[in-house]
A and B are shown apart, each in its own frame.
Chain A
Amino acid sequence: MTLTPARTDPTLYTKTRTFTVALAGNPNCGKSTIFNVLTGARQHVGNWPGKTVEKHEGFFRLAGHEVTLVDLPGTYSLSAFSAEEIVARDFILSGEADVVVCVADSANLARNLYLFIQIMEMGVPLILGLSMADVAESRHIRIDHARLSHRLGGVPVIPLVGHKAVGLDALKAAMLQAIEQPPGPPPAQVRLAPVVEEAIEELLPLIKRETALTYRYPARWLAIKLLEEDDPLLAEAAAYPELLAAVRAAQQRIQSTTGEEPHALIADSRYSFIAELLRGVVSRPPGAHITRSDRLDRIVTHHIWGVPVFLAVMWLIFQITANVSVPYINWVDGVVSGPITHWARALLGALGLGGGWIESLLVEGVITGVGGVLVFVPVLAFLYLAIAALEDSGYMARAAFVMDRFMQKLGLHGKSFLPMLVGFGCNVPAIYATRTLENPIDRQITGFLTTFMSCGARLPIYVIFGSAFFGASSGNLVFAMYATGIIVAVLTSLLLTRVVFKNRPIPLFVMELPPYRLPNLRNMALPMWERICAFLRQAGTVILAASIFIWLLLAVPAPGAPGNFNAVTLENSLFGALSKLMAPIFAPAGFDNWGASGALVTGFVAKEAVISTLSQLYLDETPRPAAEAAAPLSLADDVRFIAASFAEATVLTLQEAVNILPRTVNLLPGVDIPPVQFVPAAAEGEDTSALQAALRHAFTPLAAVAFNIFVLLYIPCMATTAAMRQEFGTRWTLYQMGYSLGVAWLVATLVYQGGLLLGLG
């Protein structure tokens, strides 16, 4: 710490023409904006001596004086708990600054004043800059600056709008006055609890007789910090045994008298001071203390309505995801199975590799398998965009809060929904997210349930089946799958918490709900892009390997079956033989075709592989739709086809987006608004993908639903299983695998058989 007597030598204020002003404040309070506006390009960035914390200095002229403006690190207090706090505190105490400008966010004054109060306790020349005054005004928050200044013992209070340079002249004038005139009387002082004030009075003589201490620290401030258990200062005080003993005795007396820890008592006095300070200073119009967010939250986080609202939001998202994305799914499918396949065949032909097993591997293995998964990039893009919109709008926090409460009613820890929410994206991080629960049993139960949350990889399966069998109502199937996952998780949790693990203590948590806001496109696009990239990496690695492996199994004849390598019917292949062994197990659930059971096996590798396997199996046998069969042959025709089909997909996407409204309103009894039709219905009908057509041959609608339920509930993918084993051990993982397989088979069978009984087959 640098020791300068600047503040104690009044002659300096009239003779020196170079001054230092420190800018302090909470993070994100608008301090840096003010720093930039004041200093412009005249800035220097370095490090604080001996610290990794950045030091920002800037320079400007003020009435002929050269002013160095030091932007202190943003901190919430000066309690020496972090490097930033120590840097800010040491600099203010050093006396290098002739005046400290504490910047506080006008719209969150109560939160920002704690730091100001702590600086005020140091007794340094101080100005309070109230930033973002325009934001406060827009929220109808009125601040009586004169009264606030008066209550603070004359500390100048300047309203500021940094980005518009509003209030900077007043701020500069206040700075000038502070640096040209000797310090006046000390500003207002926080009155601490009487027992603390008594302790301070006892400590002051002991501190004042140690000049090494008083030269560096204001005596009262030091007494308070010692009582507050400030570690660095207590370490210094160890050199003064009498002082340290008095501090310890005072702390004990305060605790025994009040039952409160001294630091809590002191901090509470500061909070009370802030509350009293702002009473009558900050005013809002009648009812303004209840914000729009508060009013919305009365419904959205209501203990009864909260869950239905959550389900309604989920339903809307899956309508958007499943229906709006279909035209782009068909477009990608057309490009992959048309021009890309055509180019691959042409390239191999030009290299003299056409017609053999290499072409079969590339086209029927890699392009069909990986392409079958890439087709679903649009659906995931819409899902991730919707999730990002929920996050950015502030609703996702409410969803977690509402569902946490719901979880607690089921005997689960309130925090259990966080991992489950993560599970909607991917089950693997969801398993790791159970680490937020410190109780091992809570973690085990939550990890067990998390796998029933339908991950993003399962969504394409519902979408392809939904659009193949239910057309415009495919969103309902997707929603039903997600809801089924939640219901099975709830029932399983009841089983685990009421039967297996009983009488566990459930601790409380408090959640800070952010205000609602309109989602920002940039905030939504970035996480969507990151998630899509992660999905594409998966497609480029695991799915590619799985596709090649499946192709190999399909190319090798089963023992005793007719055919040769790459010249064998699918049914006689090794894959066909293995799948046929399992197929009868699924007969009660309605999907005992060997292709479906084979896809379920590869689904254990990664859920995306279900679609790639179905593509490899069925597309080999099914004639392509007309649009595909008539795929153009020249490069120019291919490019024209890609562009034209993209344009058509875009128009259809807009049409589907507009039609969400009539579809939603039509759910009301007696309402029947016709959907809009930008593209003739015939053209839309032709756009059915090849896989959808193939699936309609292989499944009945009821069997398709049962298959989707099985995919939803059966054992999670290999990566999730490995994560479970790592987190919860082999035995618990095997329990989960056995349980999920049993539940998946049971629910799928019940749905299929129940549907048959109701005549839905």
Chain B
Amino acid sequence: MTTTLTRVLQLFEQHGRPLSLAEMARALDTDPDIVAEMLAYWVQRGRLREVSDSSGQCTRCSGRPSCPFVVRLPHRYELATTPADDPEVRPPCSCCG
């Protein structure tokens, strides 16, 4: 017996290319809204990692919380195989003063 929730993780392990949420919902034959909830569930449980647009930004640019050159992108999810980078230890960048 494999639950849909577990099949979400299996898709991450087995699928060969990036998927949109809608594609994953079709693959699981489940409502996309429920799949999104399931992704959030696994993020909370530490099995998936949410890679947001702010993941790459430096944090000490002129004392501002984010670099203006970082493009805003929607959430991505990936298997959390290694601990995520700690934003607090990121070095400053010199792109904006």
Name the residue on A nearest B95 (C-beta). Answer: A428
Q: Are B90 and A432 in contact (CB under 8 A)?
A: yes
- How extensive is the interface on chain A, given as a class? 35 or more
Complex: A428 Cα to B36 Cα, angstroms? 33
B63 close to A (CB within 8 Å) = no
Of the 9-residue stretches A30-38, A214-222, A509-517, which lies at the interface with chain B?
A509-517
Q: Are B37 and A512 in contact (CB under 8 A)?
A: no
Question: Max chain A CB contacts within 10 Å: which of B18, B72, B82?
Answer: B18
Q: Are A400 and B73 in contact (CB under 8 A)?
A: yes
Q: Give every chain A residue within 8 A of B76 (Cβ-Cβ).
A: 415, 509-512
Q: Are B69 and A510 in contact (CB under 8 A)?
A: no
- How extensive is the interface on chain B, given as a class? 35 or more
Name the residue on A nearest B7 (C-beta). Answer: A268
Q: How far is the CB of B65 from chain A (nearest CB, A)?
A: 11
User: 19 more A-B contacts (CB under 8 A) besides A110-B37, A436-B56?
Assistant: A76-B37, A110-B33, A110-B34, A114-B37, A271-B37, A274-B34, A275-B30, A387-B71, A396-B72, A418-B51, A422-B69, A428-B69, A433-B70, A456-B69, A507-B78, A508-B17, A509-B76, A511-B18, A511-B19
Q: Are A260 and B3 in contact (CB under 8 A)?
A: yes
Q: Are B71 and A421 in contact (CB under 8 A)?
A: yes
Q: Are B74 and A294 in contact (CB under 8 A)?
A: no
Query: Restricting to B1-56, which residues have a CB under 8 Å from any CB of A?
Result: 1-6, 11-13, 15-22, 24, 30-31, 33-34, 36-41, 44-45, 51, 55-56
Question: Max chain B CB contacts within 10 Å: which of A79, A404, A435?
Answer: A435
Q: Are A723 and B57 in contact (CB under 8 A)?
A: no
Complex: A537 Cα to B96 Cα, angstroms? 7
Q: Give every chain B residue within 8 A of A275 (Cβ-Cβ).
A: 30-31, 34
User: Beyond A259-B1, A433-B70, A508-B17, is A76–B40 a contact (Cβ under 8 Å)?
Assistant: yes
A719 close to B (CB within 8 Å) = yes
Q: How far is the CB of A80 from chain B (nearest CB, A)?
A: 10
Q: How far is the CB of B13 from chain A (nearest CB, A)?
A: 8
Q: Could you show 7 A-B contacts with beta carbons less than 8 Å apart?
A: A397-B73, A418-B56, A421-B71, A507-B81, A510-B19, A512-B76, A533-B68
Q: Give every chain B residue within 8 A of A271 (Cβ-Cβ).
A: 4-5, 30, 34, 37-38
Complex: A534 Cα to B97 Cα, angstroms? 7
Q: Which of A81, A265, A426, A513 touches B44 (beta carbons < 8 Å)? A: A81
Complex: A404 Cα to B5 Cα, angstroms? 25
Q: How far is the CB of B35 from chain A (nearest CB, A)?
A: 9
Q: Are A396 and B73 in contact (CB under 8 A)?
A: yes
Q: How far is the CB of A131 from chain B (nearest CB, A)?
A: 15
Q: Give every chain A residue within 8 A of B95 (Cβ-Cβ).
A: 426, 428-429, 534, 719
A264 close to B (CB within 8 Å) = yes
Q: Give every chain A residue within 8 A of B16 (Cβ-Cβ).
A: 508
Complex: A13 Cα to B25 Cα, angstroms? 46
Question: Max chain B CB contacts within 10 Å: which of A268, A297, A514?
Answer: A268
Interface of A is mostly: helix
User: Beyond A265-B3, A508-B12, is A415–B51 a contact (Cβ under 8 Å)?
Assistant: yes
Complex: A425 Cα to B74 Cα, angstroms? 18
User: Beyond A114-B37, A268-B5, A434-B56, is A426–B69 a contact (Cβ under 8 Å)?
Assistant: yes
User: Beyond A436-B51, A538-B96, is A79–B69 a contact (Cβ under 8 Å)?
Assistant: no
Complex: A405 Cα to B71 Cα, angstroms? 18
Q: Give every chain A residue within 8 A of B57 (Cβ-Cβ).
A: 429, 432-433
Complex: A434 Cα to B36 Cα, angstroms? 25
Question: Max chain B CB contacts within 10 Å: which of A294, A430, A722?
Answer: A430
User: Beyond A264-B3, A400-B73, A534-B68, is A510–B39 a contact (Cβ under 8 Å)?
Assistant: yes
User: Beyond A111-B33, A512-B21, is A267–B41 a contact (Cβ under 8 Å)?
Assistant: yes
Q: How far is the CB of B45 from chain A (nearest CB, A)?
A: 7
Complex: A272 Cα to B93 Cα, angstroms? 47
Q: Give every chain A residue within 8 A of B56 (Cβ-Cβ).
A: 418-419, 422, 429-430, 432-436
Q: Are A391 and B72 in contact (CB under 8 A)?
A: yes
Q: How far is the CB of B90 from chain A (nearest CB, A)?
A: 7
Name the residue on B nearest A429 (C-beta). Answer: B67
A726 close to B (CB within 8 Å) = yes
Complex: A134 Cα to B96 Cα, angstroms? 43
Complex: A537 Cα to B97 Cα, angstroms? 6
Complex: A425 Cα to B70 Cα, angstroms? 7
Q: Are A263 and B45 in contact (CB under 8 A)?
A: yes
Complex: A534 Cα to B57 Cα, angstroms? 14
Q: How far is the CB of B87 from chain A (nearest CB, A)?
A: 9
Q: Give every chain B residue within 8 A of A511 (Cβ-Cβ).
A: 18-21, 74-77
Name the residue on B nearest A79 (C-beta). Answer: B44
Q: Give every chain A residue within 8 A of B73 (Cβ-Cβ).
A: 391, 396-397, 400, 418, 421
Complex: A396 Cα to B71 Cα, angstroms? 8
User: Beyond A297-B20, A537-B97, is A438–B15 a contact (Cβ under 8 Å)?
Assistant: no
Name the residue on B nearest A387 (C-beta). Answer: B71
A414 close to B (CB within 8 Å) = yes
Q: Give every chain A residue within 8 A of B3 (Cβ-Cβ).
A: 260, 264-265, 268
Name the residue on A nearest B92 (C-beta). Answer: A432
Q: Give every chain A residue within 8 A of B74 (Cβ-Cβ).
A: 397, 511-514
Q: Give every chain A residue within 8 A of B44 (Cβ-Cβ).
A: 76-77, 79, 81
A18 close to B (CB within 8 Å) = no
Q: Give every chain B residue within 8 A of A663 (Cβ-Cβ).
A: none
Q: How far is the CB of B26 from chain A (nearest CB, A)?
A: 11
Name the residue on B nearest A265 (C-beta). Answer: B3
Q: Are B19 and A428 in contact (CB under 8 A)?
A: no
